[in-house]
Structure 1
């Protein structure tokens, strides 16, 4: 009875943490134009700052696994949330380019760390729960991502200075994280359950090899995460440009594609656990990948309404692929979930960060349609590879 209550509380707490992370990341988006104007930045300078945010996240992702193995995921989750929250007010008051670069790098460090820790914790809760929960967790992350800009925008529209709006969000992040701390698994319980789960499923203890990142299953899942995250990053950075330049949509409506993609993804992730339970992970990844590929083809080849439908299909198909990969990563024989999730997340976010830049280079050499074609090819590769594999 005690373990059932502990598990139920841990699941709810993890849901709050996913929501908190989505809220924290997305709250930065409405601040970007304000920062650009205040520091008088050109597009190249702003691009460099945004790159530092991503580099901060990627730099901390491998370190997150080490920290979780030493002190447990809940301490890492709360500490990194504090770093995100404490960085946020400085994002709107730092007066220099160098200062902003440092703060954005630290902000990215916090985001990357909490992202790995919450996914590792979510996988452990799911392993004990005995049924899929990762899709709904990522769905709540998406809900937080949709609400962040709305809350910041509402506060600013109500006459609140950007600094005070940032402080309000920062306090909310801290309150959410601290309130859930006691319900998250402590480090002793995590170590015990990880070993018990590994021995029960594979009959052997965790592998202590320092080069667990080179595990073939980790590298395969990492590649597939890289490909899927690349498609998400491409939609964020290139969808509006694609619609404006190639579909002749007016600039004020150029975000319609990404909005359609994001809403479809959030809805499907909230429904994802039930879908995975009724079908299976192979059907969801393979079928979802093919739906996503169809969506990209419609985006490229269709008229404007057909292209918007393509964005919806892409979000629908891709929504539950990454949560399944995280679930698979938490069950690799002999590898701690904290290690595997940090590795897979790092490779995935490398795709989200470097992918849009790669697409920009391809678009410059050839065309934006060819660049989007690469997205379709990679998603098709994910569907085929996962469909043909026997097990991870």
Structure 2
């Protein structure tokens, strides 16, 4: 296997792991955020719904940006921005400030999700065999590490800001050290796409047949991740560290 492709695979593994670690470290602190801002369940729903919409927008924008500058550049920038946003979420003391920081995180996460999967598919094409499951497995491993970290920080009674600052620092450091060898994609010139004959026709029915069940899966998975901890703490009077441990399991 060509060495540059092997290095790109390792960098992509790192990107998936960083994303999973940051997401888990943040989502397990949602009960803390809810209590800190005295949010009702409807307000939590409004925040999460807005974040989800902006995540979708971030994915679309990342597609255009990747076509112009390459997915590697967009992924590293979006991953760094998402890491910074994680710490910023602990800074504001008003609902408006929380909305700004969480929505910024959602926009960045959407861009990361799109571009790291672009990288994964491109690297898989170079290998000529299925390796995407390994990338998604690395995301899960990163999420497990994030959940364990959240559990320990809650048991040690660390406040929210230093906890999330550490998450941001780790994400930025690993991004700088391990994501430098992502697969280079030449920017796409839309005027010359498809040999100058215009845009290729999208086969919408097969896309929808894949997209609809994927959306349902994502919706249910996100609902469990976001509301599981709140249900355990508010509904079953579990400690926040126990809720974080449950997420990890």
TM-score (normalised: structure 1): 0.54
Give 1:215's match in structure 2, choosing from 193, 202, 206.
202
Note the residue ranges of structure 2 that are not aligned, 5 or more in a row.
228-234
Q: Cα deviation per residue 1:341-388 (whole Å; 9 max; x = unaligned)?
A: xxxxxxxxxxxxxxxxxxxxxxxxxxxxxxxxxxxxxxxxxxxxxxxx
Distance 2:157 2:71 in 1: 38
Give 1:43's match in structure 2, choosing from 24, 41, 44.
41
- Runs (4 or more) in structure 1 with deviation over 3 Å come to 205-212, 238-241, 250-253
> What are the residue-to-residue correspondences of 1:222-371 with 2, within 5 Å?
222-237=208-223, 251=236
Give 1:86's match in structure 2, choosing from 81, 84, 87.
84
Change (3 A) 1:210 1:147: farther
Distance 2:54 2:198 in 1: 23
The secondary structure found in structure 2 opposite 1:184 is coil
Note the residue ranges of structure 1 that are not aligned, 5 or more in a row.
192-204, 242-249, 264-392
The aligned residue for residue 139 of structure 1 is: 137
Q: Is the CA contact 1:152–1:166 (under 8 Å) kept in the aligned structure 2?
A: no
Distance 2:225 2:50 in 1: 22
The aligned residue for residue 158 of structure 2 is: 160
1:239 shift after superposition: 9.8
1:155 shift after superposition: 2.3
1:46 shift after superposition: 1.0
1:233 shift after superposition: 2.7
Q: Give the root-mean-square deviation of aligned CA atoms.
A: 3.0
1:251 shift after superposition: 4.0
Distance 1:149 1:206 in 2: 45
The aligned residue for residue 5 of structure 1 is: 3
Change (3 A) 1:141 1:86: same
Size of the aligned set, in residue pairs, is 234
Q: Is the CA contact 1:25–1:145 (under 8 Å) kept in the aligned structure 2?
A: yes
Q: Cα deviation per residue 1:169-205 (whole Å; 9 max; x = unaligned)?
A: 11111112111332112344x77xxxxxxxxxxxxx7
Distance 1:57 1:181 in 2: 22
The aligned residue for residue 148 of structure 1 is: 146
Q: Cα deviation per residue 1:95-128 (whole Å; 9 max; x = unaligned)?
A: 1111111111110011000110000011111101
Which of the two has higher C-alpha Rg? 1
